[in-house]
Structure formats: C-alpha cells, structure tokens
C-alpha cells in the first residue's frame, strides 16, 4: 500500500489554517488572519512569507488611514495545492 506524500508547505498547522481560510474567503487582511488563527504577528508574517514564496498566496502591502495594511489573497496554485492536500488526506482515510 502506497501513500501519497503530503505537501510539506501545507502540512504546517498554521499554514494549513491560513490557506483553508483563504480558500473559503478568497482574500483577507493580516489582522483578520491573526485573529482567526490566533497566531502571533511574527509567526504569521513568517508563515505568510513561506506561502508567498510557494506562490500559494499574493501579499499586497499598502496604507489604510495612515496605518500599514497587508492584504492577502489566495492564488490558483494555492487552491490547487490545497485540493491536492485534501485529496491525499482522503486517500489516507480510505486505506
């Protein structure tokens, strides 16, 4: 019996939570992601960067009312990777 390898980028609890939320919502901002995931600012920043490097999300930094504003959006690659990850987990359950 062979199991498919789980995507190491998505296998992190926080990165999986971020991508799961964005798959449902499409986009979010840093503060909402921080609230939903209960992550620290530093950890969230590091994990968002890893997802951005993998091309699973796009990050846009601007200012809103004179405050830094970070918008995060899921990419097609991110959606595809998430769907593959979920299918791999379903395959584990079936076996």
What tens digit of pLDDT does each residue of 59-81 get? 999 999 999 999 999 999 999 99
Q: How far apart are CA 80 and CA 24, in angstroms?
A: 13
pLDDT value, residue 5: 85
pTM of the entire predicted model: 0.92
pLDDT over 90 at 49, yes or no: yes
3-state SS, 73-90, equals EECHHHHHHHHHHHHHHH
* Whether the predicted pLDDT of 95 surpasses 70: no
Mean pLDDT of the chain: 94
Q: Give the residue among 57, 54, 53, 67 at the shortest CA–CA distance from 33.
A: 57
| Domains of the chain by start residue, with CATH | 13-94 (1.10.10.10)
Sheet with 67-74, strands from edge to edge, namely 27-29, 67-74, 57-64
Q: Where are the alpha helices (DSSP H) in the chain?
A: 13-25, 30-37, 41-53, 76-94
């Amino acid at each position: 019996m062979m199991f498919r390898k789980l995507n190491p980028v998505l296998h992190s609890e926080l990165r999986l939570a971020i991508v799961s939320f964005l798959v449902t919502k499409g986009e979010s901002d840093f503060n909402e992601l921080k609230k939903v995931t209960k992550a620290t600012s530093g950890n969230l920043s590091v994990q968002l960067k890893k997802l951005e490097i993998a091309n699973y999300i796009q990050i846009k930094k601007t200012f809103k009312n004179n405050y830094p504003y970070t918008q995060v959006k899921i990419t097609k690659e991110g959606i595809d990777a998430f769907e593959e990850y979920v299918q791999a987990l379903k395959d584990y359950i079936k076996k």
